[in-house]
Structure formats: structure tokens, C-alpha cells
């Protein structure tokens, strides 16, 4: 898993699959679920995570990372605490304060400041009928060094290649109500209109007044298009990217 900061300039790379904390915690979750009789074999958990036995075997052996989609299914299916997987809590099950599984680390309370919203944003596509924002049904987690109220949004599509890849998750901060002039040209934002997209933006002006945005894909086979000010319901600044892919 790679965490890219301030797209696309700098990045923190975690490519040691065997020592990746998420993979270490996944191996513990697998062993604990098996010990409790909630799964019998790799095939049981593979079917729940929408993958294959050999993939689970590779993750357990430290030869590959668990993907974000598999992680989401693991959290939802077995009520696993997301902070446990990220190594920020010793509480394996969500909402079960009596279920602590330690690794010789100090146990401490971590405030969950990132809301994971699965399958909400599509780079180059649209999702209608879903609301962004606080929602108790969504998983919450934290990542060391990332502070403030943030939202994690899964990306589907190829319109933001090569900087955002299909299956990536972007960590965003909501742009509070105010003039669109606070938005920086050529930066990446999640724009909510009747659809939800991740795009680079350029402010559109009539004189000195902002009247809308031009939305630009990094993958230039997709042409830019414009949205009027009245169409924009919310804007989220993309601050970080979590990806399972390295730099080719």
C-alpha cells in the first residue's frame, strides 16, 4: 500500500508486504477468526472478500497487500475495527471494548477522524442518490499524521490516470462554504453536483466574479467540461491518495 501526499509531488512508500502493519494485522484477524470458528479455511474468507484462495494465501505469506476493496469487505463482514488493521488500536472488533488483541504495543485511544465512504466518487463517472458527509453506517479510522475531519472516498475509473488509479482511495477535506476563489487552479478536488467526480479544476470568471468551474481529467482522452456555480453542492480538497500500485 502506498500513501501519496499532496498529489502528485511527494509520497510515502510502504512496499514491504511482509512487514506492512495492515498485512500483519490481517494475519492476526485471520488466525483469530479461525480460532473462534467464524471461518474454517482460506476459502471461507476468500469468498467473503470476493477473491481466491491463492490471493489470501499470498497475503498471509506477505507476498502481496490486501486491497482496499478486500479490506472494506473484511470490516463489514466480520465487524472488524478499521483502526485495528491500521495498528492504531488493540480492539479487533468494532464496538467491542472487551476484545483486545495486543502485539506488545501500548494500547491507547485514537480518535477516528476519517470517514470511509465506499464507492462514492468515480473519476470520470457519476453516482447519483448518495449523500456525502457524516453517516453512522460508514467506517471511521485514523492514519498517523493525518489530522482534522477528513473523508476517504474510493475512486473508480481511469479519467485521472496516471495520478489517480482505479481502486485508489483519496483522503479529502471539505471546503467550507465560501467564495470559489479559495479553490486553486490545477489542483485536484472532488466536486459534488448531480454526480460526484474527482477532477482538476480551473475557476471560470465573468469579469472578477467566479461563475463556475472547468473540470479537467489527467487522462486527456476525456475532454474538459464546465459546471455552473449553481450546480455545485459541495467541494472536497484532495489532500492524500492511498493506492495499492507502485510507480512503474
Q: What is the pLDDT of residues 170-191, one digit of tens each?
A: 999 988 765 566 899 999 999 9
CATH of 13-85, one of 3.40.50.970, 1.10.260.40, 1.10.569.10, 1.10.8.870: 1.10.260.40
Instruction: Please tell us whether the domain made up of 114-243 is placed in CATH 2.40.50.100.
Output: no
Looking at every residue in the chain, the average pLDDT score rounds to: 78
The domain locations on the chain are 13-85, 114-243
> According to the per-residue pLDDT averaged within each range, which of 127-136, 144-153, 167-176, 183-192 is highest?
183-192
- DSSP for the chain reads -EEEETTTTEEEE---TTT-HHHHHHHHHHHHHHHTTS-SSHHHHHHHTTS-HHHHHHHHTTSSPPPHHHHHHHHHHHTB-HHHHTTS-SB-BTT-TT-B--SSSPP------EEEETT---TT----S---S--TTS-EE--TT--SSEEEEE--SSTTTTTS-TT-EEEEEE--SS-GGGSPTT-EEEEESSSEEEEEEEEEEETTEEEEEEEE-SSTTSPPEEEEGGG--EEEEEEEEEES----
Residue 85's pLDDT is 85
Position with higher pLDDT, 201 vs 147: 201
- For the stretch 58-86, pLDDT in tens is 888 878 888 888 988 999 999 998 888 88
Amino acid at each position: 500500500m502506498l500513501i501519496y501526499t499532496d498529489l502528485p509531488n511527494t509520497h510515502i512508500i510502504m512496499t514491504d508486504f511482509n512487514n506492512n502493519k495492515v498485512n500483519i494485522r490481517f494475519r492476526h484477524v485471520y488466525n483469530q477468526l479461525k480460532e473462534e470458528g467464524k471461518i474454517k479455511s482460506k476459502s471461507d474468507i476468500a469468498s467473503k472478500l470476493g477473491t481466491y484462495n491463492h490471493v489470501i494465501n499470498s497475503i498471509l505469506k506477505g507476498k502481496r497487500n490486501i486491497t482496499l476493496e478486500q479490506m472494506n469487505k473484511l470490516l463489514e463482514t466480520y465487524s472488524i475495527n478499521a483502526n485495528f488493521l491500521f495498528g492504531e488500536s488493540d480492539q479487533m472488533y468494532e464496538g467491542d471494548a472487551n476484545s483486545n488483541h495486543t502485539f506488545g504495543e501500548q494500547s491507547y485511544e485514537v480518535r477516528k477522524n476519517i470517514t470511509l465512504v465506499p464507492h462514492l466518487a468515480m473519476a470520470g463517472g457519476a453516482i447519483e442518490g448518495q449523500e456525502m458527509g457524516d453517516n453512522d453506517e460508514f467506517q471511521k479510522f485514523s492514519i498517523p499524521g493525518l489530522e482534522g475531519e477528513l473523508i476517504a472516498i474510493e475512486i473508480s475509473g481511469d479519467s485521472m490516470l496516471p495520478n489517480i488509479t482505479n481502486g485508489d482511495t483519496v483522503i479529502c477535506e471539505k471546503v467550507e462554504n465560501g467564495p470559489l476563489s479559495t479553490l486553486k487552479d490545477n489542483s485536484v478536488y472532488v466536486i459534488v453536483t448531480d454526480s460526484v467526480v474527482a477532477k482538476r479544476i480551473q475557476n471560470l470568471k465573468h469579469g472578477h466574479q467566479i461563475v463556475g468551474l472547468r473540470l479537467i481529467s489527467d487522462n486527456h482522452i476525456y475532454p474538459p467540461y464546465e459546471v455552473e456555480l449553481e450546480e455545485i453542492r459541495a467541494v472536497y480538497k484532495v489532500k492524500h491518495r492511498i493506492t495499492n500500485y507502485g510507480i512503474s
